């Protein structure tokens, strides 16, 4: 995909980075600039240090790397290089230097990796480089066995701790029930903080995080919805506890999902090696890219994807990345409206949604139009309920509706067809207002069971995105 | 389960859970029957979980609205699709700074708004939130949808003044329009039928609020005549001081009025007459400033005090012909500028040209910066007042104000002289070392007529991106809007 200034604005983490990048557009700041046919552009930018910073960008997927110590991503040097390319500045075509190839080899995007020469294949059988490579460590079977046993002991200890934590969680919920949930709001922060700390001690960090986020979610709701919300959330916590105790009786996918929710992790490598993980290769379109800062000081970046072509039915996926807040602002890698062909690998779940890109094929392109699967509002709710039945702790769930209209009052907007209406989270987003009254909308949003967070819409007036 | 958990059971369970099961135990058996064992120590927890799941399957009870009307209706055409990214790039929050930081009241936003009004275009509804600052600043020119957007909160409050947007304003609907459009209507009508325009204003004046009365009085400044005197004198008792001041200022411009005579006398008292020259003695005029006026305030003070005095009255008061006054003021730069302002007000463009070329090359700056100076015929005024070949440098902020005063590009011959001027060539040639503000280049775009944009584009293309990107984008945007 060719770079545009609009795209550069999107990936920029903040205004300061753009302004700083603008000052680097002068060719004199770049003693070296070159590119390859594979969409790579690299250069050396003279900064304040003695050595110039080495900057490389991939025009195909907007990957970038820079040797500067900036804590903004992308930094001003990568932005400046993108900006120059967006303006069509020519670069001489060259073979990528080693430092560019090294970066490519380390990248996770498989599509981009394929453009880098395979070092192993290119290397001659005997060379100084090979001699300089560290020798393979000698394997000590006893040490390995000791390590495996230690891992198993740790695992068993953690299982026991979590089970104990679940018992404490039940007691905590019972306490709240005995006192009555009507008074819970006044002590929600204190009580949830207490329960979260206990669950952290019990090594159930996933559940701890859910409880920690509960007060914010509760107070973000209108008063009238809070009773049901509390009952649902506290009931769901018991559901987790009970399901964890009886996980042996659960179907494999639900069990794996449960363990992930409770706090067990599955690395990318483990997921790639997980035999039951669902793989779906198709063309995927980005419908939304969101960022949220979690209480654990991690920025959660979600990229919501829809499979293009609904021959096999509607299919959505979400890519999740976590970046420490301390590294500063992060620009968008994906923008709504872009699409790419990829094989997605879904985390095990009875309602699979979270995925990683196992392999990307080709570069990203812009889609001029997206058509929602042929569901009306009722049909979309049917799908939601089917997923909720399969996964009782279902969170925000993607909903797509064809041929809908946004209506209602300024304070309470709804997305509706001729029969059913879904309340929209609208108060904080005035960008929704111009949608009112436009008929024939293909809409996509995240449904939390009460309100729809509208994220994307194709309308007769063109594409709508949140402000 | 629905058969077991009926509405009454849900209601009872929910109430108990909210009030606390410590007081009264939850009726689990009644709600769930054998689904939960009576002796289960976690019966309450299980009931809570099932109640929660039951709630999650409950569909929202919202009826589909019977009809949904667009919130921001507008009969104008939406800007071409190609213009949308350019508009966002130039005028929206984050993107605006990609180019350079310009407030939405700069020359480019004004030129864009003017072009959209001329072409009867409106913004894409989805861009209204993103261009909020621009819309707020120029809603009157951007159509009904933009006005509705700025008044979107007024639906729930009654304290905000709401005026409907009138696309084609005339005598039948002018009272419903927004204040600035009403003032523009009166100003235009004054040019053709001054009496009728005043009569319309008089008819509604008493019922208007002070800010509206003020703009309507100011709109009467066109084609002032003694016939306006009774109405203006009647405003001496207006409730609002701003309206009284505006009326007084207009009276001061009426020949024969008391205020005009008073102001002329004050002015003449501030003129020092002397003789100059060795071989041929001639009269020399010089302004005598009050002690409270600092040196840097002198020009502004002189223009605001004497700029509205009629040129003929001024000359007569000095017992000189207009030519003699111009010659006699030659040694006083500020007095020459005041004379240029008076010539401009009197539409004596031949005299204005002479004053600018001989004495006051930068008089236009004072004129565009003064709220009291009105430019009735922008093309003729520009041809006389704008003489770029005399400029020693390009003036960034005054150029923005120049566009704001003209609300149109310079006439082609004037713009050609501007592009050929030494001041402009210097800016282009030394951009890399002098680092002028990029806004200079985008402002020039607004002042150059479409016929010269090609030449300007070629010149700007030679500059580096940091200087030209905004100007080139603005030029493309104006081209797209004008072609729509």
pLDDT tens-place values along chain A, 467 residues long: 567 877 888 788 877 788 888 888 887 788 888 888 888 899 988 777 667 888 999 887 778 888 887 878 888 899 988 888 888 888 888 888 888 888 887 775 544 444 444 444 443 444 444 444 444 556 688 888 888 898 899 999 999 999 999 999 999 999 999 999 999 989 999 999 999 999 999 999 999 999 999 999 999 888 888 999 999 999 999 999 999 999 999 999 999 999 999 999 998 889 999 988 999 999 999 999 988 888 777 888 999 999 996 666 789 999 998 888 776 667 677 889 999 999 999 999 999 999 999 988 888 889 999 988 888 899 999 999 999 999 999 999 999 999 999 987 767 889 988 888 899 987 667 888 889 889 899 999 999 998 999 999 999 999 999 87
Interface of B with A in 229-258 (CB under 8 A): none
A383 to chain B: closest CA residue: B57
Contact A421 B65 (CB under 8 A): yes
CA distance A140 to chain B (A): 50
pLDDT of residue B112: 96
Q: Which of A433, A437, A461 sits opposite B152 (nearest CB)?
A: A433
Contact B42 A170 (CB under 8 A): yes
pLDDT of residue B121: 96
B284 in Cβ contact with B331 (< 8 Å)? yes
pLDDT of residue B236: 80
Contact B67 A233 (CB under 8 A): no
Among A114, A107, A93, A105, which residue's Cα sits nearest to residue A42?
Answer: A93
Among B145, B127, B147, which residue's Cα sits nearest to residue B137?
Answer: B147
In sequence order, the β-bridge partners of residue A318 are A304, A354
Residues of chain A in contact with residue B155, where contact means CB-CB under 8 angstroms, are 410
CB neighbour list of residue B241: distance below 8 Å, 6 or more residues apart: none
Residue B460 sits at φ, ψ, to 5 deg, of -70, -30
Q: What would the pLDDT profile of B204-220 be if each residue is shown by its tens digit? A: 888 888 888 998 988 88
**d(Cα B416, Cα A377) in Å, to the nearest integer?**
61
**d(Cα B94, Cα B107) in Å, to the nearest integer?**
19
- For residue A125 the two structure tokens come to 């059988």
Interface of B with A in 146-185 (CB under 8 A): 149, 152, 155-156
A&B contacts, CB < 8 Å: 179
Planar angle of CA A272, A275, A279, nearest 5 degrees: 65
Q: Which residues of chain B have pLDDT under 50?
A: 1-3, 95-103, 156-160
Residues of chain B in contact with residue A239, where contact means CB-CB under 8 angstroms, are 49, 52-53
CA distance A138 to chain B (A): 54
Q: Which of A9, A231, A423 sits opposite B60 (nearest CB)?
A: A423
Residues of chain A in contact with residue B67, where contact means CB-CB under 8 angstroms, are 407
A202 in Cβ contact with A179 (< 8 Å)? no
- For residue A108 the two structure tokens come to 């996770």
**d(Cα A318, Cα A348) in Å, to the nearest integer?**
13
Distance in Å from the first CA to the final CA of chain A:
24
CB neighbour list of residue B279: distance below 8 Å, 6 or more residues apart: none
**Which of helix, strand or coil describes residue B68?**
coil
pLDDT of residue A310: 61
Kindly state whether B68 is in contact with chain A, defined as any CB-CB distance less than 8 angstroms: yes
CA distance B52 to chain A (A): 4
CA distance A247 to chain B (A): 17
Total Cβ atoms within 10 A of residue B22: 12
CA distance B441 to chain A (A): 17
Q: Which of B52, B63, B81 sits opposite A232 (nearest CB)?
A: B52
**d(Cα A34, Cα A435) in Å, to the nearest integer?**
45
A13 in Cβ contact with A377 (< 8 Å)? no
CA distance A233 to chain B (A): 7
Contact B124 A461 (CB under 8 A): yes
Among A72, A78, A70, A35, which residue's Cα sits nearest to residue A54?
Answer: A78
Q: Exposure of A6 by Cβ count < 10 A (0-12 exposed, 13-18 middle, 19+ buried)?
A: middle
pLDDT of residue B9: 83
ipTM value greater than 0.85: no
Residue of A3, A4, A5, A329 to mutate for B, most B C-beta atoms under 10 A: A5
β-pairing, A40-45 vs A316-324, is unpaired
Residues of chain A in contact with residue B464, where contact means CB-CB under 8 angstroms, are 25-26
In sequence order, the β-bridge partners of residue A462 are A459
pLDDT of residue A305: 96
Interface of B with A in 35-64 (CB under 8 A): 42, 44-46, 48-53, 55-57, 59-60, 62-64
Contact A242 B46 (CB under 8 A): yes
């Amino acid at each position: 995909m060719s770079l545009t200034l609009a795209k550069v604005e999107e990936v920029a983490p903040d205004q300061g980075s753009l302004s700083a990048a603008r000052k680097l557009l002068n060719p004199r700041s770049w003693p070296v600039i070159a590119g390859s046919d594979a969409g790579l552009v690299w250069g050396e930018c003279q900064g304040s240090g003695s050595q110039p910073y080495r900057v490389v960008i991939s025009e195909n997927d907007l990957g970038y790397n820079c040797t500067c110590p900036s804590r903004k991503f992308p930094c001003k040097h990568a932005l400046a290089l993108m900006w120059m390319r967006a303006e069509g500045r020519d670069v001489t075509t060259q073979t990528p230097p080693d430092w560019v190839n090294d970066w490519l080899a380390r990248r996770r995007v498989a599509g981009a990796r394929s453009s880098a020469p395979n070092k192993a294949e290119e290397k001659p059988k005997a060379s100084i480089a090979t001699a300089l490579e560290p020798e393979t460590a000698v394997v000590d079977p006893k040490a390995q066995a000791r390590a495996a046993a230690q891992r198993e002991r740790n695992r068993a200890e953690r299982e026991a701790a979590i089970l104990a934590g679940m018992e404490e969680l039940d007691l905590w919920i019972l306490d709240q029930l005995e006192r009555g949930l009507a008074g819970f709001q006044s002590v929600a922060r204190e009580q949830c903080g207490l329960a979260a700390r206990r669950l952290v001690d019990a090594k159930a960090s996933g559940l701890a995080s859910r409880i920690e986020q509960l007060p914010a979610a509760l107070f973000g709701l209108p008063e009238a919805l809070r009773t049901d919300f509390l009952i649902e959330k506290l009931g769901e916590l018991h559901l987790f506890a009970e399901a964890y105790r009886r996980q042996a009786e659960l179907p494999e996918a639900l069990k794996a999902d449960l363990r992930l929710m409770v706090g067990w992790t599955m690395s990318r490598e483990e997921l790639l090696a997980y035999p039951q993980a669902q793989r779906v290769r198709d063309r995927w379109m980005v419908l939304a890219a969101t960022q949220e800062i979690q209480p654990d000081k991690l920025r959660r970046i979600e990229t919501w994807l829809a499979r293009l072509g609904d021959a096999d039915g509607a299919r959505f996926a979400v890519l999740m990345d976590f970046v420490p807040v301390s590294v500063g602002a992060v620009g968008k890698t994906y923008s709504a409206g872009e699409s790419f062909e990829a094989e997605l690998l879904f985390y095990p779940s009875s309602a699979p949604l979270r995925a990683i890109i196992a392999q990307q094929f080709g570069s990203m392109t812009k889609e001029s139009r997206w058509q929602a699967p042929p569901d009306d509002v009722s049909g979309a709710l049917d799908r939601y309920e089917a997923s909720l039945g399969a996964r009782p702790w279902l969170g925000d769930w993607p909903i797509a509706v064809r041929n809908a209209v946004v209506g209602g009052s300024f304070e309470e907007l709804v997305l509706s067809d001729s029969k059913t209406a879904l309340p929209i989270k609208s108060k904080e987003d005035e960008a929704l207002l111009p949608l009112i009254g436009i008929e024939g909308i293909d809409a996509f949003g995240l449904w939390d069971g009460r309100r729809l967070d509208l994220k994307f819409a194709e309308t007769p007036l063109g594409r709508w995105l949140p402000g | 389960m629905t058969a077991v958990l009926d509405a009454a059971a849900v209601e009872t369970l929910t109430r108990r859970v909210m009030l606390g099961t410590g007081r009264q135990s939850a009726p689990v058996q009644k709600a769930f029957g054998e689904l939960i064992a009576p002796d289960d120590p976690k019966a309450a927890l299980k009931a809570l979980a099932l109640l929660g799941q039951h709630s999650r399957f409950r569909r929202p009870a919202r009826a589909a609205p019977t009809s949904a009307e667009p919130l921001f209706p507008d009969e104008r055409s939406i800007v071409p699709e190609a213009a949308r990214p350019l508009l966002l790039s130039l005028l929206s929050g984050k993107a605006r700074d990609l180019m350079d930081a310009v407030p939405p009241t700069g020359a480019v936003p004004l030129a864009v708004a003017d072009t959209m009004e001329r072409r009867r275009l409106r913004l894409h509804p989805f861009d209204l939130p993103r261009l909020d600052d621009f819309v707020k600043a120029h809603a009157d020119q951007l159509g009904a949808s933009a006005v509705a957007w700025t008044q979107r909160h007024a639906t729930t409050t009654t304290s905000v003044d709401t005026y409907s947007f009138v696309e084609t304003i005339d005598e039948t609907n002018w009272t419903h329009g927004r204040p600035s459009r009403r003032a523009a209507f009166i100003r235009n009508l004054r040019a053709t039928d001054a009496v009728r325009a005043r009569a319309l204003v008089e008819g509604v004046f008493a019922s208007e609020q002070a800010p509206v009365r003020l703009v309507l009085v100011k709109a009467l400044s066109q084609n002032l005549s003694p016939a306006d005197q009774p109405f203006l004198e009647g405003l001496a008792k207006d409730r609002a001081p701003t309206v009284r001041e505006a009326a007084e200022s207009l009276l001061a411009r009426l020949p024969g009025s008391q205020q005009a005579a008073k102001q002329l006398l004050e002015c003449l008292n501030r003129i020092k007459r002397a003789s100059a020259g060795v071989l041929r003695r001639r009269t020399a005029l010089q302004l005598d400033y009050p002690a409270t006026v600092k040196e840097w305030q002198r020009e502004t003070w002189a223009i605001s005090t004497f700029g509205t005095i009629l040129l003929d009255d001024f000359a007569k008061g000095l017992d000189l012909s207009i030519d003699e006054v111009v010659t006699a003021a030659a040694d006083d730069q500020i007095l020459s500028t005041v004379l240029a302002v008076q010539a401009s007000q009197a539409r004596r463009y031949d005299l204005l040209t002479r004053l600018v070329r001989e004495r006051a090359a930068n008089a236009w700056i004072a004129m565009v910066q003064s709220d009291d100076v009105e430019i009735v015929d922008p093309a003729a005024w520009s041809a006389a007042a704008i003489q770029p070949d005399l400029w020693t440098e390009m003036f960034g902020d005054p150029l923005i104000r120049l566009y704001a005063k003209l609300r149109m590009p310079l006439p082609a011959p004037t713009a050609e002289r501007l592009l050929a001027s030494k001041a402009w060539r210097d800016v282009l040639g030394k951009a890399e070392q002098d680092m002028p503000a990029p806004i200079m280049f985008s402002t020039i775009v607004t002042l150059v007529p479409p016929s010269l944009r090609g030449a300007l584009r070629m010149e700007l293309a030679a500059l580096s991106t940091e200087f030209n990107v905004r100007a080139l984008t603005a030029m493309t945007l104006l081209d797209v809007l004008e072609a729509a």
